Amino acid sequence: MEFDLSPEQEDFRKVMQEFVDSEIRPYAAKWDSESVLPLHIVKKMGHMGLFGLIFPERYGGSGAGFATLCIAIEEIAKADSSVAITLSAGVGLGASPVFHFGSTEQKDTWLPRLCSGEILGAFGLTEPDGGSDAGSTMTKAIRLSDGEWSISGAKAYITNSGTEITKFITVTANTDEGVTAFLVPYGTPGLTIEPAYRKIGWHASDTHGVVLEDVRVPDSAILGTKGKGFAQFLATLDEGRIAIAALALGLIQGCRDESVGYAKTRNAFGGPIGRYQGVAFKCADMDVDVEVVRGLVYKAAWLRDMGRPFKREAAIAKLYSSEAAMRAAKNAVQIFGGAGYMDETPVARYFRDAKILEIGEGTSEVQRVVLARQLGLKS
């Protein structure tokens, strides 16, 4: 069995580490405290080709594969989950639906600009009254006599939905033929972006509600097949779950590294607190989870890149990694003691950022439903 990254991937990891250390880590706390998405960093990531890693060269991508994207997300998340989710959502939720289900015209229109990071796309599945129950879509699309569609409804908790470079949102809506996906350009009359949410964590990530009131779009706005929109979006989420697991992997490593450093330098009772099992064992447990999660993430990414089924492995990776991230963040704050409860410490930010990993891209409960069904059990 081969567990090594390719030489190209190892070189890419080093490039990402240098980028994070110089461009992200020194400023992450400031962006978090100001609740500002650093668009200049998004543009730099675009220039580096990060938004095009999994897409073909004809659209401006590099075709490097999903495992390479996971490396980028992991390295960024060691320092800043908000920037990491901006990349993850930009690729997995913004560009991927267009690539997998878009028409030739839609791909040619949007993908080159998405791959370059010039623009972002948003992904509208979740609704105010339908989170985990994503199948209960209330948004409706009605075919009008002139051949256009009128879409009305609301979407909630949409990442990358309010930036100045966000140019469209794909939304699911009920039609006579079933749930259908539509690509709605920003600026379309009736499309309103609500004020940014005030969140527990991911402060520097852009998140808004979206309202559609008699939004008119042509047939050419349909993304994929009529009546198959829900299935298309679920397929998109399978890839997204691997990316979230990669983000969790980076966060766990951040917690481990901060905790080990503090345990070696914080003195109490006559010496470094790392001498005591109550501290040392917490650090050891984080180190175990780093290795376990790394195996889960990159196995799922490898299966995806090989064109093999990966739904089960994506659910396992997402479930275990998100809960491990919450454990690591909790233990890191405990190791830091009172200092860990202060926003000035990175572990406080990791703690706030970790919780959403058990919710976004399918809650832990939803992952267990997926896995139970894979075992042939009804749930």
* DSSP string for residues in 282-344: HHHHHHHHHHHHHHHHHHHHHHHHTT---HHHHHHHHHHHHHHHHHHHHHHHHHHGGGGGSTT
What single letter denotes the amino acid at residue 248? A
* Residue 175 located in a structural domain: yes
Task: State how far the Cα of 275 lies from the Cα of 264, in Å rounded to an integer.
Answer: 8
Looking at the fold, whether 168 and 114 belong to one and the same domain comes out as no
Which 3 state secondary structure label does DSSP give 193?
Answer: strand
Please check whether residue 1 lies inside any domain of the structure: no
323 shares a domain with 284: yes
The pLDDT of residue 45 is: 98
| 268 and 287 co-located in one domain | yes
The verdict on 333 and 237 lying in the same domain is: yes
Same domain, 193 and 254: no
Which pLDDT tens digit goes with each residue over 324-351?
Answer: 999 999 999 999 999 999 998 999 999 9
**Do 17 and 95 sit in the same domain of this protein?**
yes
Could you give the maximum distance between any two Cα atoms of the chain, in Å?
Answer: 81
CA atoms within 13 A of residue 302's CA, in its CB half-sphere? 13
List, for residues 171-207, the tens digit of each pLDDT value.
999 999 999 999 999 999 999 999 999 999 999 999 9
Q: Are residues 347 and 238 in the same domain?
A: yes
pLDDT averaged over the chain?
96
Residue 2, domain member (yes or no): no
List of residues 6+ apart from 238 with CB closer than 8 A? 310, 311, 314
Task: Give the pLDDT confidence score for residue 243 in this predicted structure.
Answer: 98
In a domain, 218, yes or no: yes
CATH number, position 163: 2.40.110.10
In a domain, 67, yes or no: yes
For 218, other C-beta atoms within 10 Å of its C-beta total 11
Task: Report pLDDT for 3.
Answer: 76
- Residue 220 CB contacts under 8 Å (≥ 6 apart), including other chains: 103, 105, 106
pLDDT, residue 2, reads 73
- CA dist 306 and 303 (Å) reads 5
Domain for residue 65, yes or no?
yes
361 is catalytic: yes
Q: Which of 209, 229, 249 is the last residue of a domain?
A: 229
Q: Report the pLDDT value the prediction gives residue 134, as an integer from 0 to 100.
A: 63
Average pLDDT over residues 230-239: 90
CB 39 within 8 A of CB 165: yes
Q: What is the DSSP string of 123-182?
A: EE--BTTBSS-TTS---EEEE-TTS-EEEEEEEEEEET-SSTTEEEEEEEEEETTEEEEE
Q: What is the pLDDT of residue 362?
A: 92
Last residue of a domain, one of 120, 153, 184: 120
Q: What is the pLDDT of residues 281-325, one digit of tens each?
A: 999 999 999 999 999 999 999 999 999 999 999 999 999 999 999
What gap in Å lies between CA 12 and CA 250, rounded to an integer?
16
- Residue range of the domain that includes 77: 7-120
Q: Is the pLDDT of residue 132 over 70?
A: no
Say yes or no: 146 and 69 in one domain.
no
Residue 90 sits in the same domain as residue 220: no
Mean pLDDT of 152-177: 96
CATH classification at residue 79: 1.10.540.10
| Closest by CA position to 182, among listed 265, 267, 97 | 97
Q: Which of 57, 148, 361, 365 is catalytic?
A: 361
- Looking at the fold, whether 93 and 136 belong to one and the same domain comes out as no
- In a shared domain, residues 71 and 198: no
Q: Which residue has the higher pLDDT, 97 or 235?
A: 97
Q: What's the CA gap between 250 and 62, in Å, rounded? A: 23
Predicted confidence at residue 263, as pLDDT, reads 98
What does the pLDDT read at residue 230?
87
| CATH for 305 | 1.20.140.10
CB atoms within 10 A of CB 105: 9
Is residue 223 domain-resident? yes
- Domain boundary, last residue among 120, 147, 170: 120
Q: Do 253 and 346 fall within a single domain?
A: yes
Count of domains observed in the chain: 3
- Residue 344 has a pLDDT of 87
Summarize the confidence of residues 38-44 as an average pLDDT. 97
Per the structure block, which two tokens stand in for 248? 């969790």
Going by C-alpha positions, the residue among 72, 74, 69, 73 that lies closest to residue 53 is 69
CB neighbour list of residue 313: distance below 8 Å, 6 or more residues apart: 296, 299, 300, 303
Whether 379 maps to a domain, the answer reads no
Amino acid identity, residue 218? Answer: P
Q: Rounded distance, CA 282 to CA 356, Å?
A: 22
